[in-house]
Amino acid sequence: MKPFKRYTPFCYFKYLLVLSLLLVSPFMIERGFAQTPPIAPLKTHSIQCVKIVSALEQYHYLGKKLDKVVSVRIFDHYIKSLDPYRQLLTQEDMDTLGQYKYQFDRHLKNGVLTPAYDIFNLYLSRSTLRLEYILKLIKTWEKDMAFDLDDVMAVDNESRPFQKSPEDLYPLWKNELKNHIITLKLDNQENAKITDSLEKIYTSRLTRLAQTNTDDVFQLFMNSVTNSFDPHTQYFAPRVSEDFDIHMSLSLEGIGAVLQNEYEYTKVVRLIPKGPADKSHLLMPGDKIIGVGQGKDGEMKDTIGQRIDDVVKLIRGPMNTYVRLKIIPAKKADSTTTISILRDKVKLEEQSAKKRVVTLTRGTLNFKIGIIEIPNFYIDFAAYHRGEKDYKSTTKDVQKLLLELKQENIDGVIVDLRDNGGGSLKESNDLTGLFLKSGPTVQIKTKQRITRLYDEDPSIEYTGPLVVLINRMSASASEIFAGAIKDYNRGVIVGTNSFGKGTVQELKPLGEGKLKLTTAKFYRVSGESTQNQGVAPDLNYPQIYKIKDTGESSLEGALLWDTITKTQYKAYKQLEPVYQALSKEYQERVRHDPGMVYLKNRIELTDQLNHQETLSLNLAQRREKVDLYSAQELENENEYRMALGKEPLKSLDDDGIKLKDYKEIIMEQTQLVMGDFITIAARLGYTW
């Protein structure tokens, strides 16, 4: 019992007494709700806890110690992970539990986990109370609930204050159910079906809650500890330690999406380029999956509160079968929608770099533009380490494509890195070298030193005008490439700010589990970090993705942007005059371009929805709002169709609604920018 030596018998008894009063209050017994048996830590958990803390202090990039400041951060993160919407814990609870805010540092170093488990048991008991209360309401909602009142509920629940006492939580729970019923009514479900669906959903959640075990609690709490250092540092318990990444890729006979838990939801982080979800244009990063159904009419199973590996199992399935996802769209967070995606494999050949050539006519001039799309930075490491000369890699494939493009006498090249989540650091460095003479491409800073990667080959594969297209989901290796091209003035970066993933993680075995640690940061040759802020384009396009839900800056506790000393490198001639001329041409053109006007209107409509502070619980008002949004969306679609000389749609359900993916609109605009760039660069005498 040595790890628990900091507890005196008296203070431990007093602590248990306070928590027992919280866990079994007369208020709860009076209503006859079942009590959940408390969960306790194991001795092995205490031993593992000490190892995790030691590894964090020894190996994490920040080099910080577990002190009172970190203790407060752990407490706050843990409370938020348990009760993100402040509908379970009260201010009374927080006043009582707050005394432990400054004690986690010494408790953790000694393997003392009892306070964390007691907090969880309070959460578990209150969660059980909530679900049983909602199930009781479901039985009589048709006669007891009115949907014609002017009631509202807060949209941003994370910022509301804690309720004063448990009695004050009941109206929140009732409003939650009321809102759930409204969303089902807006889906045109009959009352009997609504009742049946709700009983299944909340009974299932209650069952899952009762299945929580001590390992679940340990992993949840230890990830509050690791996340207090940064969001990419994570502990993997033995049952999930085979997964290096917190995210789970559904690339094998699935839908091709990367998911993560965000509190009780499963959130889409990014889509695998060319995967089934990406090709469907129905799912976007930031969407939250709340239900999964098999086939075109299988039962929709509720996934709120489920482990991510269980959600993944539901989504995966045989090729050429449909999976239905009930989602809360990032662009329309006050409603739900159900989409259907045909499962398939993400084919490796579709992940390879590809080229195409387009001809652009500008006045009397015709330009041949080569477009190279790079979905990720890949390399066959096994073949590379065997010394095989023909191993497959991004750089080798792009080098071949550039040779073919030069034989077609192209006037400029667009490198499309949209939705490229990164990959091999070696490939990012080597690819950059195809467009530069020689020099450093990226700096890597650990706690001890700064190292650099270099392009040591003085030859250049392509010396003409270059445009690099990025978006919010361009991350890691993509940002290193784009940052180097920008710092060397080798080309023009267009699009939106990139993801901002500028950290390096390593996996360390730890007992029976594993610890993924942030051990380094990337910096551009200019000394600027790619972390948090990403790479800023020279020419900004409209932002499609919701910044609050996507990118590094959306992750709580993400490491900050900073700078280090600029390294020595020889840049090309400054491109500032080119940027100014390009911006002027672009701004003039997009005011009248049908595609860009369409995107602008679509983004503004989404922003209106995302900025509302409250949600009406009046069914007629909600239906009116949905109808208004649909009418505005249809109007925007039809304005675009008519600008292209097409017949207008009668409703959003008509076939042909997807006239063009927004990616195509952006690519068409980028081709025009490239035409401007070729002309301006020639006029101003730029060569590379």
| CATH code for the domain in which residue 439 is found | 3.90.226.10
Do residues 199 and 138 make contact, with C-beta atoms less than 8 angstroms apart? yes
Q: Is the pLDDT of residue 196 over 90?
A: yes
**Catalytic residue (one of 331, 396, 501, 521):** 501
pLDDT-wise least confident of 44-48, 343-347, 482-486, 679-683: 343-347
**Terminal-residue alpha carbon distance, the chain:** 70
**Residue 427, CA distances (Å) to 278, 335, 376 in order:** 24, 42, 10
Residue recorded with tokens 């594993």: 514
Same-domain pairing of 337 and 357: no
Q: Is the pLDDT of residue 61 over 70?
A: yes
Is 608 part of a structural domain of the chain? Answer: no
- Burial (Cβ within 10 Å: 0-12, 13-18, ≥19) of residue 622: buried
| Per-residue pLDDT at 103 | 93
**Torsion sign (Cα): 634, 610, 267, 217:** negative
Q: What is the DSSP pairing of strand 257-262 with strand 265-271?
A: antiparallel
Q: How confident is the model at residue 30 (pLDDT cuts 50, 70, 90)?
A: very low
Q: Is the pLDDT of residue 4 over 50?
A: no
Same-domain pairing of 107 and 204: yes
Q: How confident is the model at residue 35 (pLDDT cuts 50, 70, 90)?
A: low
Average pLDDT estimate for 553-572: 95
Tokens encoding 392: 């497959």
pLDDT-wise least confident of 159-163, 527-531, 650-654: 650-654
Is 41 part of a structural domain of the chain? Answer: yes
> Could you tell me where the DSSP H helices lie in 522-660?
576-590, 594-610, 619-643
| Per-residue pLDDT at 257 | 87
Q: Is the pLDDT of residue 275 over 90?
A: no
Q: What is the DSSP pairing of strand 503-510 with strand 513-523?
A: antiparallel
Average pLDDT estimate for 328-341: 82
Average pLDDT estimate for 348-371: 90
Is 113 part of a structural domain of the chain? Answer: yes
Average pLDDT estimate for 565-580: 96
Same-domain pairing of 297 and 358: no
The Cα 282–Cα 597 span in angstroms is: 21
Residue recorded with tokens 């408390």: 38
Same-domain pairing of 531 and 554: yes
Is 604 part of a structural domain of the chain? Answer: no
Q: How confident is the model at residue 609 (pLDDT cuts 50, 70, 90)?
A: confident
Structural domain containing residue 391: 352-402+414-571
Tokens encoding 597: 């006007």
Same-domain pairing of 424 and 293: no
In three-state secondary structure terms, 202 is: helix
Task: Please provide the average confidence, as pLDDT, over all residues in the chain.
Answer: 88
Considering 290, 323, 342, which residue would you say is the last residue of a domain?
342
| Per-residue pLDDT at 539 | 97
Q: Is the pLDDT of residue 5 over 60?
A: no
The Cα 677–Cα 366 span in angstroms is: 14
The Cα 656–Cα 303 span in angstroms is: 31
How many CA within 13 A on the CB side of residue 316? 16
Do residues 105 and 75 make contact, with C-beta atoms less than 8 angstroms apart? no
The Cα 534–Cα 550 span in angstroms is: 12
Same-domain pairing of 246 and 391: no
The Cα 220–Cα 308 span in angstroms is: 13
Average pLDDT estimate for 578-597: 94
Same-domain pairing of 397 and 333: no
pLDDT-wise least confident of 30-34, 36-40, 71-75, 392-396: 30-34
Q: How confident is the model at residue 70 (pLDDT cuts 50, 70, 90)?
A: very high
Considering 571, 591, 616, which residue would you say is the last residue of a domain?
571
**Residues 388, 390, 392, 393: what is their CA dihedral angle, to the nearest 10 degrees?**
90
Same-domain pairing of 221 and 253: no
Q: Mark whether 215 is an active-site residue.
A: no
| Per-residue pLDDT at 234 | 94
Same-domain pairing of 182 and 298: no
Do residues 217 and 226 make contact, with C-beta atoms less than 8 angstroms apart? no
Same-domain pairing of 298 and 430: no
Sequence-distant contacts of 170-178: CB under 8 A, at least 24 apart: 170/133, 172/87, 173/87, 173/130, 173/133, 173/134, 173/137, 174/137, 175/151, 175/617, 176/87, 176/134, 177/134, 177/137, 177/138, 177/141, 178/145, 178/147, 178/151, 178/617
Q: Is the pLDDT of residue 321 over 80?
A: yes
Considering 187, 204, 229, which residue would you say is the last residue of a domain?
229
> Could you tell me where the DSSP H helices lie in 449-495?
477-487
Q: How confident is the model at residue 655 (pLDDT cuts 50, 70, 90)?
A: low
| Per-residue pLDDT at 659 | 56
Q: Mark whether 501 is an active-site residue.
A: yes
Angle at 313 between CA 308 and CA 314, to 5 degrees: 100
Is 540 part of a structural domain of the chain? Answer: yes
Q: How confident is the model at residue 244 (pLDDT cuts 50, 70, 90)?
A: very low
Percent of the chain past pLDDT 90, that is, above it, reads: 69
Q: How far is CA 336 from the centre of its chain?
A: 19
Pick from 137-141, 253-257, 388-392 the range whose average pLDDT is largest: 137-141
Q: Is the pLDDT of residue 6 over 80?
A: no
Same-domain pairing of 121 and 29: yes
Q: How confident is the model at residue 351 (pLDDT cuts 50, 70, 90)?
A: confident
Q: Is the pLDDT of residue 494 over 50?
A: yes
Reported as a single tens digit per residue, the pLDDT across 507-538 is 999 988 999 999 999 999 999 999 999 999 99
In three-state secondary structure terms, 467 is: strand
* DSSP state for residue 438 in the 8-state scheme: S
Is 271 part of a structural domain of the chain? Answer: yes
The Cα 157–Cα 330 span in angstroms is: 16
Is 152 part of a structural domain of the chain? Answer: yes
**Catalytic residue (one of 46, 393, 476, 554):** 476
| Per-residue pLDDT at 333 | 65
Q: 173 or 302: which carries more pLDDT confidence? A: 173
Do residues 270 and 472 make contact, with C-beta atoms less than 8 angstroms apart? no
Q: Mark whether 251 is an active-site residue.
A: no
Q: What is the DSSP pairing of strand 439-445 with strand 450-455?
A: antiparallel
Question: Residue 277's domain is classified under what CATH number?
Answer: 2.30.42.10
Tell me how many domains the chain contains.
3
Same-domain pairing of 216 and 320: no
The Cα 618–Cα 585 span in angstroms is: 48
**Catalytic residue (one of 118, 397, 487, 538):** 487
Is 315 part of a structural domain of the chain? Answer: yes
Reported as a single tens digit per residue, the pLDDT across 76-132 is 999 999 999 999 999 999 999 988 999 999 999 999 999 999 999 999 999 999 999
Do residues 344 and 320 make contact, with C-beta atoms less than 8 angstroms apart? yes
* DSSP state for residue 110 in the 8-state scheme: T
